[in-house]
């Protein structure tokens, strides 16, 4: 019960992976992300609410009555917070992907495994299932955090891995946006999802005829200095 594992993204963040959660008290304002496939039950005044899978919020002065698997994050100190990109294990994305533009200041932390989950890809992505059979698949979950300074286009793309993963972003610090484009052109934007701390957007993925995820053109954009957590679901 209440098994904790630290997520050492950065000394500027207090982050942990919490499983088999029961009556876990949240004293300070904390970003709570439900990475399981069932609702997390939260205490508090009536009407009592739940935190749905792949959703997040900021909670304080309440308890998580029950949950399978959560990530908890808060930012205890903002001074020099951009210094996290100089910590061990961090890198600019171009260091791992030589095709990524060197002049785009997008930095990533170490990545951690946070269990696995069984999901119906159609339900998880909000897509219509053309079949009547059972579509549930197992996915391994990985998380890391990213930093980008203000006014950064983090790169339009429509591909991540082969086979494709399911990803969502949780805003940790600052204000940014998840954006969709008709083509690989900033002028072709057609959806702009504002991201403030504690918010996780709906998945951008669709599901193809093989039951695998696919993406249209999209990117993250930072209005201010931003930290966001990337939650990846890799086919097991």
Tell me which residue of 135, 143, 140, 137 sits closest to 168, measured CA to CA: 143
From CA 148, how far away is CA 227, in angstroms rounded?
A: 7
**Model pTM?**
0.96
Bond preceding residue 126 cis, omega within 30 of 0? no
- Cβ distance 200 to 168 under 8 Å? yes
Residue-wise pLDDT for 146-177, tens only, equals 999 999 999 999 999 988 999 999 999 999 99
Residue-wise pLDDT for 72-93, tens only, equals 999 999 999 999 999 999 999 9
- Cβ distance 188 to 216 under 8 Å? no
Would the CA dihedral through 202, 207, 212, 213 be positive or negative? negative
pLDDT along the chain (236 residues), means of 10: 98 98 97 98 91 98 97 97 98 96 98 97 89 84 98 97 95 98 98 98 95 96 98 97
pLDDT at residue 133, rounded to an integer: 63
As a dihedral over the C-alpha atoms of residue 58, residue 172, residue 235, residue 127, rounded to 10 degrees, the angle is 70
């Amino acid at each position: 019960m209440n098994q904790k594992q630290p997520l050492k993204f950065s000394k500027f963040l207090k982050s942990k992976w919490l499983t088999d959660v029961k009556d876990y008290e949240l004293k300070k304002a904390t970003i709570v992300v439900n990475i399981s496939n069932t609702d997390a039950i939260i205490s508090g005044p009536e009407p009592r609410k739940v935190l749905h899978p792949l959703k997040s919020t900021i909670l304080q002065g309440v308890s998580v009555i029950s949950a399978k698997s959560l990530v908890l994050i808060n930012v205890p100190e903002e001074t020099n917070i951009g210094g996290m990109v100089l910590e061990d294990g961090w890198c600019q994305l171009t260091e791992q992907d030589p095709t990524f533009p060197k002049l785009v200041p997008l930095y990533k932390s170490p990545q951690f495994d946070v269990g696995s989950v069984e999901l119906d890809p159609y339900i998880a992505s909000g897509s219509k299932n053309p079949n009547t059979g059972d579509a549930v698949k197992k996915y391994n979950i990985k998380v890391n955090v990213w930093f980008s300074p203000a006014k950064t286009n983090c790169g339009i793309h429509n591909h991540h891995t082969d086979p494709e993963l399911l990803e969502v972003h949780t805003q940790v610090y600052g204000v940014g946006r998840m954006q969709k484009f008709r083509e690989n052109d900033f002028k072709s934007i057609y959806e702009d999802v504002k991201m403030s701390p504690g918010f996780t957007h709906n998945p951008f993925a669709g599901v193809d005829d093989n039951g695998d995820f696919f993406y249209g053109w999209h990117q993250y954009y930072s209005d201010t200095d931003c930290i966001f957590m990337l939650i990846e679901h890799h086919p097991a």
